[in-house]
Structure 1
Amino acid sequence: MSVLILIPARYASSRYPGKPLVGLKGASGETRSLIRRSWEAAMAVQGADHVAVATDDERIRDHAQAFGARVIMTSPDCRNGTERCAEAMTAFDDRPEIVVNLQGDAPLTPAWFVEDLIAGLRADPAADVATPVLRCTGQMRNDLLADRMAGRVGGTTAVFGHDRQALYFSKEVIPYAGENYGPDDPSPVYHHVGVYAYRPSALAAYPTWSEGTLEKLEGLEQLRFLERGRRLLCVEVEARGRQFWELNNPQDVTRLETMMKQMEID
């Protein structure tokens, strides 16, 4: 086995309980759950050997199995999706070359984001983990700022060095970039896309580390790798005309459905 895609999903989200089972209406009017749409996004990735949902909730398990997904039950003690993926990986007899964490709240993740991510990790043997970043247009940056001004925790931004090694991730909009950006202007802000590709050894080590201070403050699981000195590669991906947003808050349902209608995604 070469590439394993896992979709961690939990029912008891602090910001949005029951989020994986929330319905999203596509362009044709058909409503399918968030977890199903995330699974369909994973199934579209070329080169993936296995795709499975990892959850600790029977409601999510039953729903996912009903639409044909393989489900791996994990402990309710997993503190985040990375820990859930680390546990789920042990259900496979053969250790994969790469484990991908495609989080269950990102149904608009294009297949090429994940394919480029896998290629990026393979091309950098020194990297323990890789994650995609998408350069924000002025409008996307303005949307992120609007969320923060309204007191909502929306998307995550990333900053990285010349070698693409991550320096920091934040739920604040970083770096500071002034105010004068038109809707279609490229900005220096990069939106972090919530997908990860791990070397199995780094993933297996992750649950053995205690939560770091920055991880706790930001609520961002990937910061544990940085606080432990692990190399986390940022792979820039291209939108190719696609809009991208994650479902973080109930208000995002309407935003995602509008995007799906505009992009004619069923």
Structure 2
Amino acid sequence: MKTAIVIPARYASTRYPGKPLAELRQADGSVKSLIRMTHEAAVEVPGIDAVHVATDDARIAAHCEAFGASVLMTSETARNGTERCAEALDRIEAEVVVNLQGDAPLTPPWFVSALVEGLADGEADMATPVLRCDEATWAMFREDRAQGRVGGTTAVFDRGGRALYFSKEVIPYVDPGKAVDPVPVFHHVGCYAYRPAALAAYVRWPEGPLERLEGLEQLRFLENGAHVRCVEVSARGRVFWELNNPADVPRIEAVLKG
């Protein structure tokens, strides 16, 4: 299947303005922007036909063009990355469109490959990866919520992998007195693979109450009955963390240094 990766990037983030241009120190002491690191992660994915950055901001566009990225300018009215990807549909040729969000530079290439494979049987409208939390990640999720920070997103799904819900709360709730093994919480990785028809339908649907309350774009698919497949992936020893808040910068830099 012909596949294109689109990296949506906006400057006016509520929680972290200018986030795509945030600089992170690499293992060799140099610095790279968040959006450049994400682009480099995208081009590592095998079997991808094209990689584009979709943005409405001239500063981000100029920065990306300077390191050789293909840039698609989109409108300022796009409310999230999925809408920004949908705007790019008429300028790309693809049977599958992958949304690799610009705040996830640690996304391993096999996560994306698994998503494309997850759409191969024709049943799902959209696929997204989930990663079972280890004890350390689960503890960080709970610490973020205890401190009033919005950290990562968690997902619950049925036995066939069909998504039931996504939340910025840590779900499912686990009684602190219960011993659980393995950890029953799955980290939703900010990456999506869409069929073009589903992506086109997305922008025709109104924003629903769950999407509005949680601030999670993928909930619009669930609120309209779309089949969202959660594809369980393995970290294979690599640490995955998104850059959601300034507090995440040292976490990611520690991973890079390690």
Q: Aligned AA for 1:207?
A: V
Counterpart position of 1:126 = 123
Counterpart position of 1:99 = 97
Counterpart position of 2:74 = 74
Q: Aligned AA for 2:165?
A: Y
What's the CA shift for 1:125? 1.1
What's the CA shift for 1:116? 1.1
Deviation string, structure 1 residues 158-206 (Cα, Å, up to 9, x no partner): 0000110000000000001233699xx6301000000000000000111
Counterpart position of 1:28 = 28
Give the distance between the partners of 1:7 and 1:116, measured in 2 at CA.
18
Q: Aligned AA for 1:146?
A: E
Give the distance between the partners of 1:37 and 1:186, measured in 2 at CA.
32
User: Does 1:217 pair with 2:213?
Assistant: yes
Question: What TM-score do the two structures reach when normalised by structure 1?
Answer: 0.94
Secondary structure of the residue aligned to 1:114 is helix
Q: Identity of aligned pairs, percent?
A: 63
Deviation string, structure 1 residues 207-245 (Cα, Å, up to 9, x no partner): 111100000000000000000000000000001000000
**From 171, 174, 177, the counterpart of 1:174:** 171
What's the CA shift for 1:120? 1.3
Question: What TM-score do the two structures reach when normalised by structure 2?
Answer: 0.97
Cα distance 1:260–1:180, how it changes in 2: closer, same or farther (>3 A)?
A: farther
Cα distance 1:188–1:14, how it changes in 2: closer, same or farther (>3 A)?
A: same
Counterpart position of 2:87 = 87
Counterpart position of 2:48 = 48
Cα distance 1:168–1:153, how it changes in 2: closer, same or farther (>3 A)?
A: same
Counterpart position of 2:115 = 117
Give the distance between the partners of 1:180 and 1:91, measured in 2 at CA.
53
Counterpart position of 2:226 = 230
Counterpart position of 2:62 = 62
Counterpart position of 1:240 = 236
Secondary structure of the residue aligned to 2:119 is helix
Q: Aligned AA for 1:209?
A: W
Deviation string, structure 1 residues 66-122 (Cα, Å, up to 9, x no partner): 000000000000000000000012112x3x110000000000000011111111121
Q: Aligned AA for 1:113?
A: F
CA contact (8 A) 1:129 1:199 kept: yes
Runs of 5+ consecutive residues of structure 2 not aligned to the other structure: none
Q: Aligned AA for 2:210?
A: L
Give the distance between the partners of 1:126 and 1:35, measured in 2 at CA.
32
Counterpart position of 1:152 = 149
Equivalence map 1:10-21=2 (5 Å): 10-21=10-21
Counterpart position of 1:141 = 138
CA contact (8 A) 1:138 1:181 kept: no
Q: Aligned AA for 1:194?
A: G
Give the distance between the partners of 2:221 and 2:170, measured in 1 at CA.
21
Q: Aligned AA for 2:38?
A: S
Cα distance 1:177–1:40, how it changes in 2: closer, same or farther (>3 A)?
A: same
Give the distance between the partners of 2:116 and 2:252, measured in 1 at CA.
26
Counterpart position of 1:250 = 246
